[in-house]
Structure 1
Amino acid sequence: MSVKNTTIGRRQFLGQSAAAAAAFSIVRARAVAGTAANSKIEIGIVGTGRRANWISRLFNDHGGYQIVSLADVFADQLKSGQENLRVDPKRCYLGLESYKELVASNLDAVVIESPPYCHPEQSMAAVEAGKHVFLAKPVATDVPGCRTILAAGEKAKGKLSFLVDFQTRAMPLFQEAAKRVSDGEIGRSICGHVNYDADMLPISADPKNPTKETRLRNWLFDVGLSGDIIVEQNVHVLDVANWLLQSHPVKAWGDGGQKSRKGLGDTWDHYVVAYTYPNDILVSFYSTQFIKSRGELHTRIYGDKGTVFTNYTGIVHIEGEQPWPGGKESDTFAQGARNNIKAFAESLHSGEYLNNAEVSTISTLTGVLGRTAAYKGRVVTWDEMMTENAKLESRVEECL
C-alpha cells in the first residue's frame, strides 16, 4: 500500500472524528492560568486501583496538586483511596457512572486511571464538562473508542489540556534519539525490530473462586476491558516505533495465543506481528507476558547509515556513520510520569495547553491493527481496520 493511500485513510479518520467533536458542547474551564504560582490544581481521579494509587502519590509529590475527588466501581477500593488520600467522603462517588458526578463537580482536571474500555466515554465527559484531562494509556480498546478519543482531543484543542501519559515521550534521551533520527543521522529507514518481554501481571481476584466481580477486578486479562496485551501494555514500544518512523503501519500480519497462563481470562500471553510501514519499511514485533526471566522493552530502527537503539530501562543510543553515545534511562516508568505531571501543571498555569490525543490514538490503533491481524490470521490493512470499525464488547454491567 502506498503512502498516499494511507494518508487518505488517516485524513478520513481525522475528519470524521473532528466532525464528531463538533457535535458536542463544552463547558468553559475554570480559570487556572493566571493564578498564583503556588496555587493548587484541584484534581479528581477516576479509578482507585493499583495504578491509580501509585500515580496519586506522584501527583502529591509534585506539590502543585490537590486530590479533591475520587470515583470507582468498587466500594472497598474507593474507601481505601479515600482514607489514604484523605479525600472528603462526600466527594467520593461509587458506581459505573460515578465518573459523571466527579466530572460535574468543582475541580480543574480529571485523571483517568480506569480500565481502557472506559477511557473514551470518561474522557469525552470530562472535556464536555470543561475539565482538563490526564489520561492513562492506551486511549481505548477498539476503533470506535479511538474515534471518540480523537473527537474529545479535537474538542479540547486551544481550550483544555488533554495529555496521554506516554512516559517515553517525556524522557530527554528518547526525545534526543527521535530528533537525531528525524535529522537523518541513521539515513533512510530500512526495517525495524520491536519487542516487549514481560512477566505475569498481578492478579487482583482469584480466578479459581470467581464471583460476579472477578472479571472486572482482573480486567488486565480480559480482552473486552483491556484490549489485550498488544494494546494495553505493548503500546509503549509500538508508540516509540511510530515516533521514530514518523508514521503508522499500513498493514500487518500476526499470530499468537494463550499457552502459558490458561484459565486466566481471554487475553493472549504472546504475540508475533509483522508490520509494514510506508515505503515498505518492515518492522518485526513480538511480545510476551509470562516469562520468568528479565523483561526487556526495545525498539530498534535500522537505517542505511546507522541504527537507533532504544530501551525502556536501558541504553538509548545510535551506532553507525554518525554515532551518538546517548545514555541510560533507568527509571522511565516513574520519571516519565513525573515529567508528564510537571508539564501538565505548567500547561494549566500558563494557558499553553498540551494535546497529544492524535499521536496517542494512532499508537493505540497500531496495537489494534496487530491484534486484528493476529485474531484473523491474515494480512489486515489499516484502511480495512478503520472501515470495519469493529467494537469490542465489555459486558461490564454483568460484573456488578
Structure 2
Amino acid sequence: MKKNNNKLPRREFIKNSSIFTGGLLMASSFLSPAHANKAKNNEKLKLAVIGCGGRGTGAASQALIADKNVELVAMADAFEDRLNKSYENLNEMFGGVQINVKPSHKFVGFGGYKKAIDEADVVILATPPGFRPQHFEYAVAQGKHVFMEKPVATDVVGIKKVMAAAQVAKQKNLNVVVGLQRHYQRSYQETYKRIKRGAIGDIVSGQVYWNSGGVWVRPRKDNMTEMEYQMRNWYYFNWLCGDHILEQHIHNIDVANWFIGEYPTKAQGMGGREVRNGKDHGQIFDHHFVEFTYPSGAIISSQCRHQPNCMNRVDEVLQGTEGSSYTKGNKAELKSYKKGVIYAHNGEDDINPYQQEHNRLFATIRQGDEAINDAENGANSTMTAILGRMATYTGKVVTWEQAMQSNLSLVPDEDTLTFDIQAPVMPDEQGNYPVPVPGKSKIS
C-alpha cells in the first residue's frame, strides 16, 4: 500500500483494505424491551477498536463504510505509536466524519482495552490472537456486539474461555462475527449450498493449502525489553500468534470443517524449521503437514508453508463420492465425475468478503434479526488448527479429546502484563528460542 507521511487517501485504503490479515448487562438502550438486539436506523452506534495495527485499522474502516451512522469513539493498543498512526490514517480516510475519538479515549497499554470497550456499543478485537479470549470475554460481559479476528485463541485454555463467552453472547442476543470471511463470500456460500444439496455426494477426502513465502520480520532495537520485542514480532511467538497454522491456515481448515459439517476426531502430521530458522524467527515452524480424520471417515490433508521460492498455493480441493469441488477466493467450481463441470463461479462483481462481514453485522444490529454468533465455530476451527499444531510439534497421533484436556496457558495473567516482566518464552545465551522437536515435545 502506498503511504504518504503515514497517511492513506480514503480511496486507496478502501481499494486495498482486503489485504489486512493478514457485569453481564448491556447498555440500557440496547436491552429495552422494544429492541433487545436492534438499533433504530437513526441511532448513532459507537465503535471501539482494540488493536490498531493493519488489520484493526482495516476492520475499523470497513465498519465505518458498512454503516454511515457508526462513529469511532475509542481506540486501544499496547503501543502509542501504532494507535496514533491508525488514528491519523482513519481520520484522513474519512475526513474527520465518523471519527470522534477524544484524546482521553485513546488508551495505551495492556489494560486499556477495558476502557475502550466501555465507551462503545460495537467493538473490534484485532490484537495479536493470544489476547483475544480475555478481550472477548470482557466485551460480552459488558453487553457489546463484537467483530473479532481469527484465530480466537492460541491455547486450549483460551478456547474454553471463548466457548463459554459464546454461550453468554447467545443468551444476551449479541451479534458476534469472526473474521473467517469465507463464510461471507458468495463463491463459498454458493458452493456450500450445492454441496449440502448433494452435488458431489458425500465428501470423503480433500486437500487444503496455505503455502507462501512468509511474512514480515521486525528487527530488535536498542533499549527494547524482551516483552516489547516479542510484542512487536508477535507472529513468531506461540503465546501471541499460535504459529502460522493458526494465524493463516485456519482459513482453509475452516472451509474443510464447514463443507464437511464436522470437526475432526484426530490428527497426525509433521513439520519443522528448514528455511526460516534464525534467531529473529522466534519459535514457530516454517512448514506443517497434517492429516485430519473426521467422524464421517473423511480425511483432509492440510499443508501450510512459509518458504520463499517454492510453490505458492492458497485454496481448497474436496473429493466426494460423485464429484469434486475447488474454491479459491472469488472463484469456485464443482465437477461431476460423469458430467464434468456442473457449477462455476467467477465473481468479478462480488462484494469484498472483508467488507461483507461488517455489512452483515451492522445490518443485523439495525434490523433486529436473529443474532449472528460465529464465536462457537470460530473456537472450534481454531481448536482444529491447534490440534494440527500439537500433531506436528509432537509427531504423534493426537485426538480431539486428548487435545481438549490440555490446561497449559501460554498467555500470562493479565494482571501481571507489563513490558518489564519476563516474557513467557525466553532466548538462551546465544539468543535462540526453544523450538518444538517432534518425538520429544509433549502434547500441550
State the TM-score, normalized to the length of structure 1: 0.87
CA contact (8 A) 1:197 1:288 kept: yes
Within the alignment, does 1:336 sit opposite 2:353 as a pair? yes
- Report the CA distance between 1:112 and its aligned residue: 0.3
Alignment of 1:144-155 (within 5 A): 144-155=157-168
The corresponding residue for 1:383 is 401
Distance 2:323 2:376 in 1: 29
* 1:176-206 Cα shifts (integer Å, max 9, x gaps): 1111111111112221111111222123x31
The corresponding residue for 1:234 is 249
CA contact (8 A) 1:143 1:390 kept: yes
Residue 55 of structure 1 aligns with an amino acid whose one-letter code is A
Given candidates 361, 365, 371, the residue that maps to 2:383 is 365
Highest relative contact order (Cα 8 Å, sep 6+), 1 or 2?
1
CA contact (8 A) 2:49 2:125 kept: yes
Distance 2:382 2:47 in 1: 25
Given candidates 253, 257, 275, the residue that maps to 1:260 is 275
Residue 379 of structure 2 aligns with an amino acid whose one-letter code is T
The corresponding residue for 2:320 is 303
Residue 110 of structure 1 aligns with an amino acid whose one-letter code is V
1:36–1:279 CA distance, 2 compared to 1 (3 A): closer
1:30–1:270 CA distance, 2 compared to 1 (3 A): farther
Distance 1:363 1:34 in 2: 29
Distance 2:223 2:345 in 1: 46
Given candidates 232, 243, 260, the residue that maps to 1:217 is 232
Calculate the aligned-residue CA RMSD, in Å: 2.3
1:111–1:268 CA distance, 2 compared to 1 (3 A): same
The corresponding residue for 1:6 is none
CA contact (8 A) 1:72 1:93 kept: yes
Within the alignment, does 1:325 sit opposite 2:338 as a pair? no
Within the alignment, does 1:163 sit opposite 2:177 as a pair? yes
1:373–1:187 CA distance, 2 compared to 1 (3 A): same
- Report the CA distance between 1:306 and its aligned residue: 0.3
- Report the CA distance between 1:29 and its aligned residue: 5.9
1:289–1:329 CA distance, 2 compared to 1 (3 A): farther
How many residue pairs get aligned? The number is 374
Within the alignment, does 1:246 sit opposite 2:261 as a pair? yes
Within the alignment, does 1:111 sit opposite 2:148 as a pair? no
**For 1:279, what is the secondary structure of its paired residue?**
coil
1:140–1:290 CA distance, 2 compared to 1 (3 A): same
**For 2:405, what is the secondary structure of its paired residue?**
helix
* 1:135-194 Cα shifts (integer Å, max 9, x gaps): 001111111111111111110115211111211100112011111111111112221111
1:329–1:235 CA distance, 2 compared to 1 (3 A): farther
Identity of aligned residues (%): 30
Higher helix share: 1
The corresponding residue for 2:80 is 75
- Report the CA distance between 1:28 and its aligned residue: 4.3
Alignment of 1:52-201 (within 5 A): 52-64=56-68, 65-86=70-91, 87-105=101-119, 107-157=120-170, 158-201=172-215
Distance 1:378 1:200 in 2: 26
Query: 301-310 or 53-62: which moved more?
Result: 53-62
* 1:46-86 Cα shifts (integer Å, max 9, x gaps): 01112112222222333432211100110111222233334
CA contact (8 A) 1:214 1:399 kept: no
Distance 2:409 2:285 in 1: 18
CA contact (8 A) 2:187 2:331 kept: no
Distance 2:410 2:359 in 1: 34
CA contact (8 A) 1:298 1:309 kept: yes
Distance 1:108 1:256 in 2: 43
Structure 2: state its 5+ residue gaps.
Answer: 1-22, 92-100, 421-444
